[in-house]
Homo-oligomer: A and B are copies of this chain.
Amino acid sequence: MSDATKDIEHLIELLAKLPGLGPRSARRAVLHLIKKRSLHLIPLADALHRVGTTARECLNCGNIGTTDICDICESEKRATGELCVVEDVADLWAMERAGVFKGRYHVLGGTLSALDAVGPEELRIPKLIDRIKSEQVSEVILALGATIDGQTTAHYIADQLPDITVTSLAQGVPVGGELDYLDDGTITAALKARRSL
């Protein structure tokens, strides 16, 4: 096996470890990249290198940026007193894409899990309690997943914060969703939380 074949095999192995890709799709991706070298492979290598050298976690909220304190934490405009607690940076990005929340975030880095032995100290929960003491927070909005672990985490956090308004995202029928395709739990939640028109 020549050096190039080894290099290509190594690249396939690395790509195959990405979530959502396997060995077969990684091979297809590598062949595509080699065929589109200047258009796709070189820019991708450069972009990875740049992100690898600049990206870091915000020391305050856990968001990803280039500085020790991220843009959202730095921005005075975002000091609305509302603090949105999310599991992961991906959830923060999803909230930002929706573009409707104007406050600041706190990324937990996961959920409490008895099975995986994840306790409050493994998450950014002590830091959250510190922030609520030091920043002027009027409301904590829990935007955690509607899973058992997500809801356990939500209740744990709410218990830790007796002196502050703690809310959570509404559960119900997704916009554009058809009842026929919804699970029983969602329909039950939507019915319980029904509103007068």
With both beta carbons as reference points, the residue of chain B lying nearest to A22 in the complex is identified as: B20
Chain B contacts of A66 at CB under 8 A?
2-4
With an 8 A cutoff between CB atoms, is A5 at the interface? yes
Interface residues of A in 2-40 (CB under 8 A from B): 2-5, 7-8, 10-11, 14-15, 17-21, 25, 27-34, 37, 40
Chain B contacts of A14 at CB under 8 A?
40, 43-44, 47
Binding site for B on A (CB under 8 A): 1-5, 7-8, 10-11, 14-15, 17-21, 25, 27-34, 37, 40-45, 47-52, 54-55, 64-67, 70-71, 88-90, 93
Known: A14-B40, A31-B64, A45-B52. 7 other contacts (CB 8 A): A2-B67, A18-B33, A19-B32, A20-B21, A34-B51, A37-B55, A41-B52
